[in-house]
């Protein structure tokens, strides 16, 4: 496809980033849409993700003009147990997107996920590019969890996690682990991770011989759940977003 050359004083961005920043979807989903032929650039179907565009270019997604960029927003949400973090579940199970339809009148994307049996702090945003940046391990934000496990926890086992651990060929990074309280055959721990691989905490604890029966995310970087009630949502002020 022949594209016009941009002048040096025009600000350019990768097209997937521009689509994500419109709030339409995440950058990863934007790339999938491009590869599948659902994106047009200046009335021509685009199949390459590495194209740079400017504000003068016309972009269509699924034959609809790209929405105008809205003001970036970020929300704290206290996810309840029993909800999936997905837009659509083939099995018809409840999702946070169904739950929040009446509370948010705009498109939003979750920053990372919590599995169905987990609860606690989720960050939500209308900016797909921001979501991607906050998810990256290179951002360096610590994610803290309160975890209840079944079993008698040996502190020496937790020390094995401070330099990372390899399980079934997968390397998990450093985990800060502290035993808070042993209550009979259950124990409460506080864990801190910076990567957040799929079901990481459950897999690591299971590897050590402890079954997780409750998992609550209490903070994500500088944002904390504090007194936010289960199922409630709170918008972060734009000044705080900019500062962070």
Catalytic residues, by residue number, are 115
CB distance 94 to 84 below 8 Å: yes
Instruction: Give Rg (Cα) of the chain.
Output: 21
Q: Cα separation of 191 and 51, whole Å? A: 41
| Sign (positive or negative) of CA dihedral 92, 93, 97, 98 | positive
Q: Cα separation of 25 and 85, whole Å? A: 14
Residue 123 in tokens = 């960050």
Cα dist from 140 to 69, 74, 77, 222, 239, whole Å? 27, 18, 21, 11, 21
Q: Cα separation of 25 and 21, whole Å? A: 8
The residues near 48 (Cβ < 8 Å, ≥ 6 apart) are 1, 34
CB distance 114 to 225 below 8 Å: no
Q: Residue for token digits 């194209």?
A: 51
């Amino acid at each position: 496809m022949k594209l016009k050359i941009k002048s040096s004083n025009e600000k350019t961005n990768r097209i997937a980033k521009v689509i994500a920043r419109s709030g339409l979807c995440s950058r990863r989903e934007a790339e999938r849409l491009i590869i599948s032929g659902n994106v047009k650039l200046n009335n021509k179907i685009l199949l390459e993700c590495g194209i740079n565009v400017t504000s003068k270019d016309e972009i269509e997604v699924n034959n609809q003009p790209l929405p105008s960029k809205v003001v970036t927003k970020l929300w704290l949400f206290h996810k309840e147990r029993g909800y999936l973090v997905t837009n659509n579940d083939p099995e018809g199970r409840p999702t946070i997107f169904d739950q929040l339809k009446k509370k948010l009148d705009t498109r939003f994307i979750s920053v990372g996920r919590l599995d169905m049996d987990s609860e606690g702090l989720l960050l939500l945003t209308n900016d797909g590019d921001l979501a991607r940046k906050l998810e990256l391990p290179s951002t360096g934000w610590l994610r803290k969890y309160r975890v209840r496990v079944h079993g008698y926890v040996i502190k020496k086992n937790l020390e094995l996690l401070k330099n990372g651990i390899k399980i079934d060929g997968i390397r998990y990074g450093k985990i800060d682990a502290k035993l808070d309280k042993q209550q009979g055959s259950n124990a409460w721990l506080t864990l801190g991770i910076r990567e957040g691989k799929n079901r990481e905490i459950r897999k690591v604890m299971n590897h050590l011989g402890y079954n997780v029966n409750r998992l609550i995310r209490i903070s994500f970087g500088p944002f904390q759940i504090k007194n936010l009630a289960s199922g409630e949502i709170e918008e972060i002020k734009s000044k705080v977003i900019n500062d962070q």
